Amino acid sequence: MKAGPLRLAAVVIAVLLLAGGSLGYVLHARHRERPPQQAAADGSFTLDEPGLYFRDSATGRVARLPARGAPRVTDGPSCDRFYAAGERALCLRKLPGLPARTRALVLDRRLREVRGVTVPGIPNRARVSASGNLLSWTAFAVGDSYATSGFSTRTSVLDLRTGYLIKSIEDIPLTIGGARHHAPDVNYWGVTFARDDNRFYATVSTRGRTHLVEGDLRNWSAKALRENVECPSLSPDNTRIAFKKKVSGDPRAPWRLYVLDLAGMREHPLAEPHSVDDQAAWLDDSTVGYALPGRDGRASDIWSVPADGTGEPRLLAPGGSSPVAVR
């Protein structure tokens, strides 16, 4: 106890050093340069010009790669996930702070805001039906890891014809193997819409397995079609589904891109040899685009590969993600 004052002084100094270090780093992080998070599109940047639209990872803004080899333009809105079809675009933005919230912005072809919805969770997947009438997004929800797998997703569907928003589709009556399925651990993600603006496909995960489900919005029902299908993406002619299939237990490379023929329910792998963790986007009826972890220190790159399993992957847009072909 004699060393009391000395010891106290040492503790106080150490605490001050640690507090100073914390504060110094926070101030450093505060003032370092980072791209603006909430930029809107420049007035001149619209969806009128056809081409590949995507998220530019360096700026966090939507960019366009025109069809005829012209340079990239990155004056779109800031989005963490982007998709566009028909008359509408969908831009998911993570709102700053905790707990995580996602702002889903519905944009018109001039990229002006038509409607905005805030949901809890981290932006994950975005899709718009071919007409632009139906929109869906998936947010990865933080803080309710009640299932053993330790994560949960929440998928919303917005019908612009009626303005009706389904905040989470997890209550849709689901049949698996012909039997009505009840489980607390049902998670949906990766919706893709059919041309009739009613049917949709999505992934459902329950009891440690993933299934491809076909859903009907009008009848409000869903049935599982097939196991081990994630992030489905329906081809423009509505005959095939591109998806990621879990092929390995190795957490570093679990998935491969496959295409499923809906008429015969036969699947074939695509020529991409890497593990793809993305909801692919059909660039036309014979090509799919997707993001892969980037080379040379980039966050991600966009690649394309023929949908029939032939050929080989082609690098489309270095430093990009969320590809979508706008016609």
Partner 1 sequence: MYLATTGRTDAPPRTSGVGRRVPGTVLALGAVSLVTDVSSEMVTAVLPLYLVLGLGLSPLQFGFLDGMFNGATALVRLLGGRLADRGGRHKRVAGAGYLLSALSRLGLLLAGGATAGIATALAADRLGKGIRTAPRDALISLSGPPETLGRSFGVHRAMDTTGALLGPLAAFAVLQATADAYDAVFVVSFCVGLMGVLLLAVYVPAGSGTVPMPVTARPRTALRDPVFRRILYATALLGAATIGDSFLYLLLQRGLDLPTALFPLLPLGPAAGYLLLAVPVGRIADRMGRRLPFLLGHAALLGAYALLLAPIAWPTAVAVLALLGIFYAATDGVLMALAGPLLPVRGRAGGLAVLQTGQALARLLGAAGFGAAWTLWGQRPALWLAGIALTGALAAAWRVLPAPAREAS
Q: Residue 101 interacts with partner 1 (CB under 8 A)? A: yes
User: Candidates 83-91, 138-146, 258-266, 312-320 — which segment interacts with partner 1 by CB under 8 A?
Assistant: 138-146
Residue 256 is a binding residue for partner 1 (CB under 8 A): no
Distance CA 91, CA 53 (A): 12
Q: Least distance in Å: CB of 255 to partner 1? A: 9
Is residue 19 a contact point for partner 1 (CB under 8 A)?
Answer: yes
Which of 151, 164 has the CB closer to partner 1? 151
> What are 101's two structure tokens?
């919230």
Q: How far is CA 74 from the centre of its chain?
A: 20
Nearest of 202, 203, 211, 152 to residue 176 by alpha carbon: 211
Per CB under 8 A, 189 contacts partner 1 = yes
CB closer to partner 1 out of 197 and 301: 301
Q: Do the beta carbons of residue 203 and residue 213 sit within 8 Å?
A: yes
Binder of partner 1 out of 18, 58, 67, 315 (CB under 8 A)? 18
**Is residue 11 at the binding interface for partner 1, with CB under 8 A as the rule?**
yes
Using rule CB under 8 A, residue 145 touches partner 1 = yes
Q: How far is CA 167 from CA 118, 156, 239, 286, in A?
A: 10, 5, 28, 33
Closest CA to 224 of 194, 238, 204: 204
Q: Which of 15, 67, 265, 315 binds partner 1 (CB under 8 A)?
A: 15
Task: Give me the 21-50 binding string for partner 1, x by CB under 8 A, dash otherwise.
Answer: xx--xx--xx-x-x--x-------------
Residue 252 as a binder of partner 1 (CB under 8 A): the answer is yes
Distance, CA of 285 to CA of 287 (rounded, Å): 6
Which CB sits closer to partner 1, 88 or 101? 101
Name the amino acid, one letter, at 54: F
CB of 195 or CB of 207, closer to partner 1: 207
Q: Which two tokens stand for residue 271?
A: 């020529």
CA-to-CA distance for 169 and 110, rounded, in angstroms? 30
Measured from the Cβ of residue 317, the count of other Cβ atoms closer than 10 Å reads: 24
| Shortest distance, position 254 Cβ to partner 1, whole Å | 8
In 3D space, the residue among 246, 236, 314 whose CA is nearest the CA of residue 258 turns out to be 246
> Segment 282-301, which members bind partner 1 (CB under 8 A)?
293, 299-300
CB of 296 to partner 1, least distance (A): 14
Site for partner 1 contains 149 (CB under 8 A) = yes
Kindly state the smallest distance separating residue 73's Cβ from partner 1, in Å. Answer: 24
Concatenating the DSSP letter of every residue in 250-315 gives: -TTS-EEEEEEETTTTEEEE-S--S---S--EEEETTEEEEEEEPSTT-SEEEEEEETTS-S--EE
- Which spans of this chain sit near partner 1 (rule: CB under 8 A)? 1, 7, 10-11, 14-15, 18-19, 21-22, 25-26, 29-30, 32, 34, 37, 80, 94, 96-101, 119-120, 122-124, 140-154, 167-168, 182-185, 189, 205, 207, 230, 251-252, 254, 277, 293, 299-300, 321
